[in-house]
Structure 1
Amino acid sequence: MASVNYPCKSLVVLVFVSLLESSTTILPSNSDKLFLALYYESLCPYSANSIVSYLNKLVEDDELLSIVDLYLSPWGNAKIRGNDTFVCQHGPYECLLSTVEACAIHPWPKLEDHFPFVYCVERLVYERKYPEWESCFEDLGLDPKAVSECYTGGYGDELEKYATETNALQPPHKYVPWVVVDGQPLYEDYEDFITYICKAYKGTATPKACSKPSGYSIQRPKAKSIPPVCYRDTIISTLLEQI
């Protein structure tokens, strides 16, 4: 199906186009840990749900988090169109929020610093209040200067190259949220990522969550056995009805 074009020729564009200038592959910062990556886009309701309802469980569990390097990549199904423009699946506002989240990760590289902000923004998306995203600075007691400077001009070489990373995924991502554990995509089982982490972990300090019979395994009703996703080529009007 055809996608709808939303030309975004602005500072937002400059930020994300600059992300394409490197093909550096992101590797776990600690080889003893499992590398968990979430490839998402800011206004996909299912991406928001994966962060608010599932990733948050991981971040709140200190034992479980100690065996994981969690990496967020806010590019998703956006596409470069040339002439310094790109389009986002859910329109210009998604371009803005994805850039804002990338600009939060840049100056606050530690998970404990940037995840609360990303979680706050995505919670507002989940609650359909995303135009209020700037309230997250005040709610979390954060100085918006670093994010603002990144957004308006500090986008250069230091930002992670989210577009390049997402476009280079093998196998290619089909939708978001797209969750990868140590290089292996979980496909439709993305909600059960903690179960996969527990199965893949080879260390001796097994977290309590992994000692449970089924970990945090998600039990979905049979009628909803496959979790919803935002497909790369889904018609935009259908998705916007769900935001």
Structure 2
Amino acid sequence: MVSFSPKPAITIVILFIFIYESKGSDDDEISPLLVANQNNNNNNKVNLSVFYESLCQPCATFIVKDLYEIFNTNLINIVNLQLVPYANSYANLTNNSISCQNGQDECILNSLESCALNLWPDVGRSYGLIFCFEFLAIEGRSNKWQDCFDQLDLPRAPILNCTTGNGTQLAKRYIDETTKLNPPHSFLPWVVVNNQPIAQDYANFTYYVCKAYKGIPVPEACNSIH
């Protein structure tokens, strides 16, 4: 089992991201497939998409350890981040059910995370909750997911209402988004930069983001990229 323990300084920064209050209403719903394409003041932003499953250990490690670095640096300023759960799941149209690669527990976490992305499109807030879920998955304690709401002082009612309301429809959207990948994904996490998969080099995504970025000024995080 993978073990990852954030350094104290990193934990403090992450917690700051977690408790950041979104200016929008918790009841406002925005399509998760539109989050990465929201209008912004920097038209040169790079689209960074991560296709994953919530109980996939390499996925959890990437989200907690590697992807966090875009918040720990100024790379987030040039990135449109899109997280896509349910990447290896299946929608049964006959009985309107969802089957997940690692069973029902994974479907529960996938649903919680998709609802967080849909209800809280602010990247800091939704990623913060997902980080907490995935950290528990790494530690083998994914069934303690409710603790994340208490630890981060986030309301759970909007998320739980979403999972019991339109959770299945969100799952189908994400599954459909995954089926549109060209080329199709062959493992997870599947990381795509401006529609180009970076395959096995996904942990080195910063290099590809910086290479794709055409704006000015260049973020400090890109200065060491050659």
Query: For the superposition of Structure 1 and Structure 2, which TM-score range results when normalised by the shorter chain?
Result: 0.7 to 0.9
Cross-structure match for 2:154? 142
1:132 aligns with 2:148: no
Structure 2 residue 104 is matched with structure 1 residue 95: no
**1:156 Cα deviation from its structure 2 partner:** 8.1
Amino acid at match of 1:140: L
Return the match for 1:80 from 87, 91, 109. Answer: 91
Does residue 167 (structure 1) correspond to residue 176 (structure 2)? The answer is: no
Give the AA of the match of 1:75: Y
Question: Contact 1:106–1:160 at 8 Å: present in 2 too?
Answer: no
The superposition leaves residues 108-135 of structure 1 with CA deviations (integer Å, 9 ceiling, x where unpaired) of 1110110100000000001111111110
1:45 aligns with 2:57: yes
CA distance in 2, matches of 1:25, 1:70: 11
Selected match of 1:70 from 52, 75, 81: 81
Equivalent residue letter for 2:90 = K
CA distance in 1, matches of 2:190, 2:106: 17
Gaps of 5+ in 1: 1-21, 215-243
For the aligned residues, what is the CA RMSD? 2.2
Shift of 1:176: 0.9
Secondary structure class of the residue paired with 1:180: strand
Q: Which protein shows a greater Rg?
A: 1
User: Between Structure 1 and Structure 2, which shows a larger proportion of helix residues?
Assistant: 2
Secondary structure at 1:49's aligned position in 2? Answer: helix
Structure 1 position 32, deviation (Å): 2.1
Q: Distance in 1 between matches of 2:45 and 2:156?
A: 31
Asked if 2 retains the 8 angstrom alpha-carbon contact of 1:38 and 1:73, the reply is yes
Instruction: Write out the 4+ residue segments of structure 1 that deviate beyond 3 Å after TM superposition.
Output: 24-27, 154-160
1:180 to partner: Cα distance? 0.3
The Cα of 1:213 is off from its aligned counterpart by 4.7
Alignment of 1:28 onto 2:37: yes
Q: Secondary structure at the match of 2:37?
A: coil
**Alpha-carbon distance, 1:76 to partner:** 1.3
Q: How far, CA to CA, are the matches of 1:87 and 1:147 in structure 2?
A: 20
**CA contact under 8 A between 2:91 and 2:172: conserved in structure 1?**
no
* Inter-partner Cα distance in structure 1 for 2:108 and 2:218: 40
Q: TM-score, normalised by structure 2?
A: 0.78
